[in-house]
């Protein structure tokens, strides 16, 4: 899968990912202790929905623009995060995970961003100028392990790779296994695309074999039946999600499914535990 985020910013996957990221961090912030927030594949941090790349795919029309047209109040936090980087009612800029995490920071929290791509990290440094974020340009999987356990003890690692390499899932699986040994109580959010059920089922089985006790999967299937050879949706694996997050998840997922369903489809968002 060839994935440059400038082509896909604000799509349905972003809406789900960022809605759940906001809910996850806020659930952890119900405790006063500081959090270390680590984004291993940070990207550019901010995207122009009017750019040639974004206009070529027009994926924002099926994502953030649908979310803004929807009236469900459960999406208010997500819409507010997008609106914070825009002037006017309709979004023209889209905040990546680094920008959204910056909005969520409390004085006691720490944000660490990593982006290996030379052009993207240059843009990221400009977008983050004036913030307290630490920015690295390293191999994402090496950095993931090197920073664990974080000094604060509590935190979230966000893993959002482009899946351009054929061994991407294998590297995630092996790194997650090692990370869990170093930081068993840590929270990790892993984004993935859904192209076909067979590939995803094999990976899910590999993750199940890791024996991680609390591994939640969320899958957002856009269409009512699998569409061969195309993008069918996306999802998240979340390690150690807090109780406050999982309790509020079902109505939020239903609101997202309803807002993002393509014309003529109901779509489906499911969440359950990957049993050990």
Please tell me which residue in 52, 120, 160, 224 is annotated as part of the active site.
160
Quick one: 236 exposed, middle or buried, by C-beta within 10 A (0-12, 13-18, 19+)?
A: buried
Q: What is the pTM of this model?
A: 0.95
Domain holding 205, by residue range, is 5-273
As given in the structure block, the two tokens for residue 51 are 């750019």
The number of folded domains in the chain is: 1
- Is 160 part of the annotated catalytic residue set? yes
Which residue from 177, 249, 243, 176 is spatially nearest to 219, judged by alpha carbons? 249
Query: pLDDT by residue for the chain (276 residues), tens digit each?
Result: 445 677 789 999 999 999 999 999 999 999 999 999 999 999 999 999 999 877 887 899 999 999 999 999 999 999 999 999 999 888 999 999 999 999 999 999 999 999 999 999 999 999 999 999 999 999 999 999 999 999 989 999 999 999 989 999 999 999 999 999 999 999 999 999 998 888 899 999 999 999 999 999 999 999 987 776 667 899 999 999 999 999 999 999 999 999 999 999 999 999 999 975
C-alpha angle 10/11/17, rounded to 5°? 85
As given in the structure block, the two tokens for residue 266 are 């109901």
Domain harbouring 103, CATH code: 3.40.50.150
Q: How far apart are CA 159 and CA 148, in angstroms?
A: 14
């Amino acid at each position: 899968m060839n994935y440059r985020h400038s082509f896909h910013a604000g799509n349905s996957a972003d809406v789900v990912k960022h809605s759940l990221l906001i809910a996850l961090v806020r659930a952890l912030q119900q405790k006063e202790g500081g959090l270390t927030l680590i984004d291993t594949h940070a990207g550019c941090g901010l995207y122009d929905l009017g750019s040639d790349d974004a206009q070529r795919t027009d994926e924002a029309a099926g994502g953030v623009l649908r979310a803004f047209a929807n009236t469900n109040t459960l999406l208010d936090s997500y819409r507010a995060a997008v609106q914070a980087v825009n002037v006017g009612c309709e979004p023209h800029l889209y905040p990546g995970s680094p920008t959204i995490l910056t909005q969520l920071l409390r004085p006691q929290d720490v944000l660490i961003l990593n982006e290996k791509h030379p052009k993207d990290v240059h843009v990221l440094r400009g977008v983050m100028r004036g913030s307290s974020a630490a920015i690295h340009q390293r191999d994402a999987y090496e950095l993931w392990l090197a920073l664990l356990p974080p000094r604060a003890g509590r935190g979230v690692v966000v893993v959002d790779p482009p899946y351009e390499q054929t061994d991407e899932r294998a590297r995630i699986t092996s790194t997650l296994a090692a990370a869990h040994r170093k930081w068993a109580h840590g929270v990790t959010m892993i984004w993935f695309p859904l192209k076909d059920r067979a590939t995803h089922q094999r990976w899910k089985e590999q993750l199940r074999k890791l024996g991680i006790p609390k591994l939640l999967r969320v899958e957002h299937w856009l269409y009512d039946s699998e569409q061969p050879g195309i993008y069918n949706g996306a999802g998240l694996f979340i390690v150690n999600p807090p109780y406050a997050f999982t309790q509020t998840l079902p109505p939020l997922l239903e609101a997202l499914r309803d807002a993002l369903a393509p014309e003529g489809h109901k779509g489906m968002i499911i969440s359950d535990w990957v049993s050990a």
